[in-house]
């Protein structure tokens, strides 16, 4: 049995999605940590789509916190605190037991600290869609000439059968980060087989050409494209 926690209302989806985002942000900004987690759990138990919760609630809140910081309304310490609360609320999605599909494999990388929450959001969403997710988090400290060999070794361990597809998804807040990780992945793609895919998510100039299977600024594009690729391999 599942019961509403104190102070929580019953939701009916999809009609009530519009109510969640302002409630989540209000609780977050006020530092009501327990209420943030209770709201997410309530939504899950009320049948909400994790994809919609991530794209319509969590990601807008990530942007709102960054704007509050940029506008000088919160300091760095408070920003870090609120981002950690967001991170913990995303982990709630990962605690849901999902039967992963061995044909759907993905490594998620953040090229910098500012992109890490987006990489966590993607990992949680993909997990809920049955992907075997290997979330590496912020890998900015690993930017060196040996990274490609290190990544190749990891893929050899976690994708031994080489069945289905292995997507390497990189989130980056800078062009330099996107370029480094793209070059590293491309240097080992041929050695690992044709079912390796490289996806880049971040802002990059239109005139800049980087070899990848998909490059987009939109979180939604990345998720939808990944699902399309996995379906095409059946």
Q: What is the pLDDT of residue 217?
A: 93
**Long-range CB contacts (within 8 A, 24+) of 201-204:** 201/118, 201/122, 201/169, 201/170, 201/171, 201/172, 202/111, 202/115, 202/170, 202/171, 202/172, 202/173, 202/174, 202/175, 202/177, 202/178, 203/173, 203/175, 204/175, 204/178
The per-residue pLDDT of the chain, averaged, comes to 92
Per-residue pLDDT averaged across 4-21, rounded?
77
- Check whether 55 has a pLDDT greater than 90: yes
Per-residue pLDDT averaged across 17-40, rounded?
95
Instruction: Select from 108, 124, 121 the least CA-distant residue to 60.
Output: 121
CA atoms of 94 and 81, how far apart (whole Å): 20
Return the higher-pLDDT residue of 104 and 234. Answer: 104
- Check whether 185 has a pLDDT greater than 80: yes
Per-residue pLDDT averaged across 139-154, rounded?
92
- Check whether 21 has a pLDDT greater than 90: yes
CA atoms of 90 and 49, how far apart (whole Å): 13
Between β-strands 132-138 and 104-110, what pairing exists: parallel, antiparallel or unpaired?
parallel
Query: pTM of the prediction?
Result: 0.92
Instruction: Select from 4, 13, 3, 21 the least CA-distant residue to 89.
Output: 21
Instruction: Select from 121, 211, 202, 214 the least CA-distant residue to 165.
Output: 214
Q: What is the pLDDT of residue 25?
A: 97
Instruction: Select from 112, 147, 108 the least CA-distant residue to 126.
Output: 108
Cis peptide before 14 (omega within 30 of 0): yes
Lowest mean pLDDT among 48-57, 207-216, 219-228: 207-216
- Check whether 1 has a pLDDT greater than 50: no
Per-residue pLDDT averaged across 183-211, rounded?
87
Per-residue pLDDT averaged across 121-138, rounded?
97
Instruction: Select from 48, 38, 53 the least CA-distant residue to 8.
Output: 38
- Check whether 134 has a pLDDT greater than 80: yes
Lowest mean pLDDT among 48-57, 126-135, 184-193, 203-212: 203-212
Compute CA 139 distance to the chain's CA centroid, rounded to the nearest angstrom: 14
Tokens of 119: 């990489």
Per-residue pLDDT averaged across 57-74, rounded?
97
**Cβ–Cβ < 8 Å for 138, 113:** yes
Return the higher-pLDDT residue of 61 and 232. Answer: 61
């Amino acid at each position: 049995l599942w019961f509403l926690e104190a102070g929580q209302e019953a939701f009916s989806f999809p009609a009530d999605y519009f109510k969640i985002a302002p409630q989540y942000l209000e609780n977050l900004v006020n530092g009501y940590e327990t209420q943030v987690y209770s709201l997410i759990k309530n939504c899950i138990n009320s049948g909400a789509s994790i994809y919609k919760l991530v794209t319509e609630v969590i990601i807008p809140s990530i942007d709102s916190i960054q704007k509050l910081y940029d506008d000088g309304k919160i300091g760095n310490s408070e920003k870090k605190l609120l981002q950690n609360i967001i991170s913990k609320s995303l982990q709630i999605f990962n605690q849901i037991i999902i039967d992963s599909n061995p044909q759907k494999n993905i490594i998620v990388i953040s090229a910098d600290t500012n992109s890490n929450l987006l990489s966590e959001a993607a990992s949680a969403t993909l997990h809920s869609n049955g992907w075997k997710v290997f979330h590496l988090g912020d890998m900015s400290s690993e930017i060196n000439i040996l990274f490609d060999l290190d990544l190749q070794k990891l893929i050899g361990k976690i994708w031994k059968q080489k069945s289905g597809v292995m997507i390497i998804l990189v989130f980056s807040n800078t062009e330099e980060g996107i370029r480094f990780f793209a070059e590293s992945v491309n240097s080992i793609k041929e050695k690992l087989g044709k079912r390796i895919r490289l996806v880049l998510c971040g802002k990059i100039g239109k005139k800049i050409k980087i070899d990848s299977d998909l490059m987009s600024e939109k979180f939604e594009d990345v998720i939808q494209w990944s699902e399309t690729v996995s379906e095409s391999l059946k």
